[in-house]
Chain A
Amino acid sequence: METKYDDWAVKGFAVSALFWLVVGLLVGLWIAVEMFYPKLNLTPWLSFGRLRVVHTNGLGLGFGLAGIFACSYYMLQRLTRTPLAFPGLAKFHVVLFNLAIALAALSLFAGMNTSKEYAELEWPLDLGVVIMWVVFAINVFGTLIKRQEKQMYISLWYILGMTVAVAILYILNNLEIPVSLTKSYTVYSGVNDANIQWWYGHNVVGFIFTFPILAMFYYFLPKATGLPIYSHRLSIISFWSLAFAYLWTGAHHLMLTPLPEWIQTVGLAFSIFLIAPSWGSVVNGYMTMQGNWDMMRTNYLTKFFIMGITFYGLQTIQGPTQALRTLTAFFHYTDWVIGHVHMGTMGWVTMTIAASFYYMIPKLYGREIHSVKLANVSFWIVLIGQLVYTVTMWIGGIQQGAMWKATNPDGSLTYSVLDSIAALYPYWKIRFLGGLIYFVGILIFIYNILMTMKRPTEGATEVATQAA
């Protein structure tokens, strides 16, 4: 029997992802310049404090989520050998999503902002976000219930995990009392608010920037290489220990603050533990390539996935390490952390989504990728841009941290805050350069994808029997 998949939503989300990627990166470049050229804060709408939030939301929720939804709808159908249970709802999802993100961007530009990181949207938009996730969940569960493939593959676990966890996280952290349509106050105060916010903040990274990206990795790496995942048992252990341990670790964002010390210590201990399940997936990925490492040269997509999972591995070592009390005292609040975040987002998340798109888009349109050569070029430029960015921020962060801690022989402080700002200007300029290089690489990626979409059809659409 031939099953036709409903890929309108996949395509819709893919295009949305590319659009929000450009918007988010442009805003990122703009604020990168503001860091060393403050005159660029031309109007209230373009001031750093507002734009930084547009940048994080635009890329995290605009690009990231759109990419995740695109790939999730794609994988969901193929792994269940079943078309979407509610294709009309999925279309509605695309429209609602873009409407929500556009309104989110506008409202953040206008300064309607709860200040809670990655949960900045005001309450009417929060409601929109919740509806959007419910719409997604209905399709996930509906399709799973109707599925024709008995066993749920690893990627489906991660998609389910994300769906469940995001609901809990988002609702709990965004409980707020409205004052007007554009203003509300959280129900939590002070220390509790901080604790809940960073429980949320950290786990949004976990369940949006890790879970679905791992779902892509576990699905698209074997697809792109034709190699089965090395160990099913290892993936079971990694999944459940990751899901269990992640929720305990938010407090490592609040080390040495007035948060009760036991919560900090528990958070720290679980953060160290988290290295194990994270590396479970890294090892699983590496071992999958066992005996076939020549594919790094011969199969252009392999290097995207392997580089991506490598940055995931580095990220999950660096994170727990910098949470250690001695190191957090030095690194926290500096630009080091900006480097850390961007290794994850530019090196792991975007790299893996890009690779998934390179695989998925040609399949969706029944043709080959527009240009393998351009894909290779985009890989190297993106990689170089990201490395220039992150390494620069690490070095800058070390200098900043050292200047804040430096004392004279008599115990007085050697440097003023202003000294430490002035010392960072060269790093901020190089960071902008890194971001610019990265942006060029991304533009090549987008061009390649769009050209693939545009080229007239050569082959037939994919059928279910070829999938999974």
Chain B
Amino acid sequence: MASIYQRPIAFAVTAAVVVLVGTLVTVIIPLFMPSTQPVKEYVKPYTAIELEGRDIYIREGCNNCHTQTVRPIRTEVARYGDYSKPEEFAYDRPFLWGSKRTGPDLARIGGKYPDAWHYKHMNDPRSMFAKSNMPAYGWLAKRPLDTSLSYKKTKVLGYGYTEEEVRRQIEEYRRKVTSPDYPAKKIRDQITPPELRDRLTEMDAIVAYLQKIGRDYKETQKGVVQAAAVETFEEMKNPYEGMPEAIEQGREIFQEKCSACHGPDAKGSIGPNLTDDEWKYGWSDREVFISISNGRPNGMPAWGQILSEDDIWKVIAYIRSLKI
């Protein structure tokens, strides 16, 4: 009998079988294993708006520069937050873990900054971070959001919304971002052309999506991550108060980490003015330290895991120096 090197069909069939063994074991069988599709109550499907935002994220190829999975590595958890869990991606079709981090990972971006931060940043990244190389996406605010396929999309994905519900979600979100009380109103109005201010734009949708990523998991962790150690100090005093060298270092840190929201002169932008006498969460060393270290609601991130204790004190020393 002729060998398979003389019989092309037999050769091709053999090759297919050889190729299918590894495929079967590592890809096909796992499809039916619970470990690849864990379901947890806390993970919620995307709303119609978040889904539209996600589709814009895909359209613009954001996944070419941003990953969406935090690995269980100490420095990575310190930088981005808790490592990613398999159940978090139950509603992700496609998955968007990415393969390159030119910019930061976004798996825990939801709720990290206020909406206003995202509007400002998406519109012009370099107005907040001079060294950033992210493309500016201001044009998203100049395009009305197309929701004509929203219901069909949620249906294909099996999210279980009725058409009515999808319409309601869209209208509700429109009302939220166009309301005079919307915290990001000022910057939204600034970058949205007048004729679109009462309508939903692609920018609104992508901001909604960014605020959703990782948020379900974060909700379960509320109160757990508070840096307890800080609370135990009854009296805290800034060891760098009034020291010129420390103030200069504090200024450098402030320019890098804080100026994007509080303005380069600390007179406020997205975040409040730090040079006046209005201090919502208190003005003592201890209170300011806790504000910086643990963060505050409505957008102040917790810097305790990113900045060292010394660095936080230096920043406080710098802020204090502005008042005199």
Binding site for B on A (CB under 8 A): 34-36, 38, 41, 44, 47-50, 52-53, 111-117, 141, 144-145, 147, 150-152, 156-157, 160-161, 163-165, 168, 172, 177, 179-180, 183, 185-197, 199, 240, 243-251, 253-254, 256-260, 263, 266-267, 270, 329, 333-334, 337-338, 404-408, 410-413, 416-418, 421-422, 425
Interface of A is mostly: helix
| Measured CA separation A49–B100 after assembly (Å) | 12
Contact residues of B between 55 and 88, Cβ < 8 Å to A: 55, 58-65, 67, 69, 71-73, 75-76, 78-79, 84-86, 88
Closest to A168 in B: B19
User: Is residue B173 contacting chain A, with contact meaning CB distance below 8 A?
Assistant: no
The one of B19, B76, B102, B126 in contact with A165, judged by C-beta atoms closer than 8 angstroms, is B19
The one of A38, A41, A240, A337 in contact with B18, judged by C-beta atoms closer than 8 angstroms, is A240
Known: A197-B94, A247-B21, A418-B256. 15 other contacts (CB 8 A): A41-B135, A114-B94, A117-B99, A160-B12, A185-B153, A189-B37, A189-B92, A190-B90, A247-B23, A250-B26, A256-B73, A258-B85, A260-B36, A337-B99, A422-B131
| Measured CA separation A333–B103 after assembly (Å) | 10
In the assembled complex, the CB of B42 is this many whole angstroms from the nearest CB of chain A, namely 15
| Measured CA separation A186–B157 after assembly (Å) | 9
Closest to B100 in A: A333
Contact A193 B92 (CB under 8 A): yes
Contact B89 A266 (CB under 8 A): no
Closest to B2 in A: A150
Q: How many B residues face the partner with a CB closer than 8 A?
A: 87
In the assembled complex, the CB of A343 is this many whole angstroms from the nearest CB of chain B, namely 16
Q: Mark B6-36, 1 if CB is under 8 A from A, else 0.
A: 1011011001101111110111001101011
User: Is residue B307 contacting chain A, with contact meaning CB distance below 8 A?
Assistant: yes
The one of B67, B85, B132, B307 in contact with A418, judged by C-beta atoms closer than 8 angstroms, is B132
Closest to A258 in B: B86
CB-CB < 8 A to A407: which residues of B?
75, 78
Closest to B105 in A: A333
A-B contact pairs, 26 of them (CB 8 A): A35-B102, A53-B64, A115-B96, A117-B99, A145-B9, A156-B8, A157-B15, A168-B23, A177-B156, A183-B55, A183-B149, A183-B153, A185-B93, A190-B36, A190-B90, A190-B91, A193-B95, A244-B18, A248-B26, A253-B99, A254-B97, A257-B84, A333-B98, A333-B99, A337-B100, A410-B308
Given contacts A160-B15, A185-B94, A189-B91, contact A49 B126 (CB under 8 A): no
CB-CB < 8 A to B59: which residues of A?
111-113
Contact A413 B19 (CB under 8 A): no
Contact B89 A190 (CB under 8 A): yes
Contact A421 B156 (CB under 8 A): no
The one of B8, B65, B131 in contact with A48, judged by C-beta atoms closer than 8 angstroms, is B65
| Measured CA separation A416–B246 after assembly (Å) | 20
In the assembled complex, the CB of A212 is this many whole angstroms from the nearest CB of chain B, namely 14
Given contacts A38-B136, A413-B75, contact A164 B26 (CB under 8 A): no
The one of B12, B85, B104, B137 in contact with A417, judged by C-beta atoms closer than 8 angstroms, is B104
Contact B132 A113 (CB under 8 A): no
Contact B75 A404 (CB under 8 A): yes
Q: Mark B256-286, 1 if CB is under 8 A from A, else 0.
A: 1100000000000000000000000000000
User: Is residue B161 contacting chain A, with contact meaning CB distance below 8 A?
Assistant: no
Closest to B66 in A: A49
Contact A199 B90 (CB under 8 A): no
In the assembled complex, the CB of B194 is this many whole angstroms from the nearest CB of chain A, namely 22
Closest to B31 in A: A192
| Measured CA separation A164–B9 after assembly (Å) | 11
In the assembled complex, the CB of B5 is this many whole angstroms from the nearest CB of chain A, namely 5
Closest to B16 in A: A164
The one of B71, B97, B134 in contact with A329, judged by C-beta atoms closer than 8 angstroms, is B71
Contact B71 A256 (CB under 8 A): yes
The one of B67, B93, B104, B149 in contact with A189, judged by C-beta atoms closer than 8 angstroms, is B93
User: Is residue B152 contacting chain A, with contact meaning CB distance below 8 A?
Assistant: yes
CB-CB < 8 A to B37: which residues of A?
189-192
| Measured CA separation A180–B73 after assembly (Å) | 41
Given contacts A48-B65, A50-B60, A244-B22, contact A256 B72 (CB under 8 A): yes
Contact B22 A41 (CB under 8 A): no
The one of B12, B126, B135 in contact with A163, judged by C-beta atoms closer than 8 angstroms, is B12
Contact B99 A191 (CB under 8 A): no
Contact B8 A141 (CB under 8 A): yes
| Measured CA separation A38–B306 after assembly (Å) | 27
Contact B15 A165 (CB under 8 A): yes
Given contacts A48-B64, A164-B16, A337-B100, contact A329 B30 (CB under 8 A): no
Contact A404 B79 (CB under 8 A): yes
